[in-house]
Amino acid sequence: MMALFTAACCALIAGATHASAQTVNLFPADYQSQWTRIAIPPTHPVSGIAQWHIDAVKGEIKCDGNGGHEWLRFNRELGNFTFHVKWRFIPQPGSPKYNSGVFFRNDENGVIWHQAQTTTEGGYIFGETPVNGKLTSFNLQKEMKENRVHEPGQWNTYDIRCSGPTCTLAVNGEVVNTVQTGVEKGYIGLESEGYPIVFKDLKVVELP
C-alpha cells in the first residue's frame, strides 16, 4: 500500500510540474508586434535598413547583418525558462570574423545584458550584470573546455536554461558555462553584428 501511495504521489508531483511549464508562442498571429529592434548601445538610432526577416510559418529568423549593431528583442519578459535555438552563419568570401549572439536576461533596452556568444571561436557566456548594485562586466570564454561550434554553413544548437539567478548554456548538447546573473527576469533576443545569420527552431518554455 505504501509503495502504491508513494508512486501515486510521485505521479501527481510530476504531473503538476509538467502542467506548470508553459511553452511561449514566439510567432503568434501578430508576431511583427512581438519583436522589437533595439540599437547597441540603446542611445544610438536604429538603422533604416530592414535587416531582420521573420518567417513565422517556418519559425525562422534571418538577419542580413547589414543594418548596424543591434538586437531583436522578444517583447515578453521572462523569469525562469529554457530557450532552445539553432543557428548558422551564411558563409562569406574571404576570412570574415563571424560574430553574433543570443541574448537572455537583458533589461528592456539592453543596458543589463547576458549573451551566449556565437562565433567560430566557440560558444560562451559574457555580458554586464549587476553585482552588489553595480553593473559589472564578465566573460566566461576561458571556462570553455573545447570549441563546440561547427563551421559556417552548419547548424549549431544552443540551449539556455535560467532558474533563479543561475543560467547555463549548452552548445551542441554539452553544458559549457554556468553563470550567476544579478537579475532573475529579463528579455531574450538575437544579435546583429555585421554578418548574415539564420536562427530556427526557436522554442521557449517558461518554468515554475
pLDDT along the chain (208 residues), means of 10: 41 50 94 96 96 96 97 98 98 96 98 98 98 97 96 98 98 98 98 98 97
Q: How far apart are CA 181 and CA 106, in angstroms?
A: 10
- Cβ–Cβ contacts within 10 Å for residue 29, how many? 9
Q: How far apart are CA 1 and CA 45, in angstroms?
A: 67
Q: What's the confidence (pLDDT) of residue 19? A: 52
pTM (whole model) above 0.75: yes
Return the H-helix or E-strand segment holding 6: helix 2-20
Q: Which residue has 517556418 as its cell numbers?
A: 58
**Domains along the chain with CATH numbers:** 23-206 (2.60.120.560)
